[in-house]
A and B are shown apart, each in its own frame.
Chain A
Amino acid sequence: MNPRREEHEITVGFAGNAKKIKVKVDDRDLRPWDLETKFQTVGTDQARADGVAKVTGRARYAYDINLPGLLHGLIVRAPIAKGTLKALDLEAAKAMPGVKAVLATKQPGARIRFAGDDVAAIAAETLDAARDAAEKVRMEFTAEPHVTDVLEAPGAPKLDQDGEVTAPWPERGAERIETAIQAARHVRSATYRCEVQTHSSLETHGLTARWYGDRLTVWASTQATFGTRAGLAGTLRIPAENITVHTEFMGGGFGSKFQPGIEGVLACRLAKAADAPVKLMLSRHEEHTCAGNRPGAIIQIRAGVNDDGKITAFDYRCWGEPGFTGQGGGTRAPSDYFRDTARRDTQDNVATDMDAGRAMRAPGWPQGFFATELMLDELAAAIGMDPLEFRLKNDRNEVRLAEWRQGAEAFRWAERRNKTPGQPRAGGDPRWLHGCGLSSAAWGGMGGPGARVTCRIHADARVEVRNGAQDLGTGLKTVLQMLAAEELGIPVAMVTPFVGDTRDPVGPASGGSVTTPTMAPAVRHAAALARRELAARVAAKLGVDAAKVACAGGQVTVEGGQTLSFVDACKLLGSDTVEVVGERFPNHQGYANSVAGCQFAEVRVDRHTGLVQVLDMLAVQDCGTVVARKQAESQTLGAMIQGVSYALHEQRIVDHLTGRMVNGDFLYYKLTGPLDMPAMRAILFPVANGHTNVGAAGIGEPVAVAPAAAIANAVFNAIGVPVRHLPLTPDKILKALARARRV
Chain B
Amino acid sequence: MRHPPEDGTPPTFSRRAFLKGASAAAVTGTVPGALPTAPSGPTSYAPGSHAITLSVNGGERRLEVEPRTTLLDALRDRLDLTGAKKICDRGACGGCTVELDGIAVNSCMVLAIDAVGMKVTTIEGLAPGEALHPLQEEFVHCDALQCGFCTPGFVMAAHACLNKHKNPDRATIQHELSGNLCRCGTYGRVFEAVERAAGRKG
Contact = CB atoms under 8 A, between A and B. Distances in A.
A binds B: yes
**Which range holds the interface residue count of chain A?**
35 or more
B122 to A, nearest CB: 7
Given A48-B140, A640-B185, A665-B90, A473 B83 contact: no
Contacts of B140: 47-48, 51-52, 55
A321 B130 CA distance: 50
Contacts, number: 171
B95 A673 contact: no
Contacts of B92: 665-667
Interface string A328-372: 000000000000000000000000000000000000000000000
A284 B181 contact: no
B184 A252 contact: yes
Contacts of B69: 128
A96 B28 CA distance: 36
Nearest to A471: B147
B89 to A, nearest CB: 6
A108 interface: no
B149 A251 contact: yes
B19 interface: no
A473 B90 contact: no
Interface in A229-252: 249-252
Contacts of A63: 82, 85-86
B147 A250 contact: yes
A674 B183 contact: no
Interface string A654-680: 000000000001110001111101011
Most buried by B among A200, A639, A675: A675
B82 A634 contact: no
Given A203-B85, A203-B149, A666-B92, A57 B124 contact: yes
B83 A58 contact: yes
Contact of A202 (B81, B122, B150, B191): B150
A56 B181 contact: no
Nearest to A679: B188
A634 B181 contact: no
B90 A675 contact: no
A202 B181 contact: yes
Given A55-B155, A250-B147, A674-B174, A283 B187 contact: no
Interface in A59-101: 59-61, 63-64, 66, 72
Interface in A673-689: 673-675, 677, 679-680
A474 B186 CA distance: 12
Contacts of A203: 85, 87, 147, 149
Interface in B145-170: 145-152, 155
A635 interface: yes
Most buried by A among B92, B127, B188: B188
B191 A677 contact: yes
A251 B178 contact: no
Contact of B89 (A64, A283, A672, A679): A283
A203 to B, nearest CB: 5
Given A55-B132, A64-B82, A634-B146, A675 B174 contact: yes
Contacts of B86: 63
A221 B28 CA distance: 28
A266 interface: no
A63 to B, nearest CB: 7
A56 B136 contact: yes
Interface string A460-499: 0000000000001111000000000000000000000000
Contacts of A64: 76, 82
B103 interface: no
Contacts of A251: 85, 147-149
Q: Dominant SS at the A interface?
A: loop
A593 interface: no
Contacts of A254: 183
Contacts of A55: 132, 136, 139-140, 145, 148, 151-152, 155
Contacts of B127: 56
B116 interface: no
A245 B52 CA distance: 37
Q: Dominant SS at the B interface?
A: loop
A391 to B, nearest CB: 25
Contact of B146 (A47, A635, A672, A673): A635
A642 interface: yes
Most buried by A among B136, B148, B150, B181: B148
A51 B147 contact: no
A201 B183 contact: yes
Contact of A66 (B77, B123, B150, B189): B77
A127 interface: yes
Contacts of B89: 283-284
A59 B148 contact: yes
Given A52-B132, A66-B77, A634 B149 contact: no
A671 B88 CA distance: 12
Nearest to B151: A54
**Which range holds the interface residue count of chain B?**
35 or more
Interface string A17-38: 0000000000000000000000
A677 B73 CA distance: 31
A129 to B, nearest CB: 9
A674 B88 CA distance: 17
A674 B180 contact: yes
B178 A675 contact: yes
A50 interface: yes
A672 B76 CA distance: 27
Given A51-B145, A59-B148, A251-B149, A671 B183 contact: yes
Given A674-B174, A677-B191, A642 B185 contact: yes
B160 to A, nearest CB: 14
Most buried by B among A57, A72, A251, A284: A57
Nearest to A668: B92
A70 to B, nearest CB: 8
Nearest to A636: B185
Contact of B87 (A48, A284, A630, A673): A284
Contact of A252 (B77, B132, B183): B183
A54 B145 contact: yes
Interface in B57-102: 66, 68-69, 73, 76-77, 80-90, 92-93, 95
A677 B146 CA distance: 17
Nearest to B176: A674
Contact of B124 (A56, A61, A667): A56
Nearest to A57: B83
Interface string B112-145: 0000000000111011000010001001110101
Nearest to A631: B143
B201 to A, nearest CB: 17
A665 B93 CA distance: 10
Contacts of B87: 202-203, 284, 666
B84 A57 contact: yes
A666 B188 contact: no
B182 interface: yes
Most buried by A among B123, B149, B177: B149
A641 B189 CA distance: 12
Contacts of B15: none
Most buried by B among A60, A64, A202: A202
Contact of B148 (A54, A635, A640): A54
Contacts of A472: 147
A60 B83 CA distance: 8
17 contacts: A47-B143, A53-B148, A57-B82, A64-B82, A66-B82, A126-B77, A128-B66, A202-B85, A251-B147, A251-B148, A284-B87, A473-B147, A630-B143, A640-B185, A641-B188, A671-B183, A672-B185
Given A249-B147, A472-B147, A634-B146, 17 more contacts: A48-B143, A54-B145, A57-B81, A63-B86, A202-B85, A202-B183, A203-B85, A283-B89, A284-B89, A473-B147, A474-B146, A634-B189, A641-B185, A642-B183, A666-B92, A674-B190, A680-B188
By Cβ-Cβ distance, the 8 closest A-B pairs, closest first, are: A57-B83, A251-B149, A473-B147, A641-B185, A638-B185, A54-B148, A64-B82, A57-B123
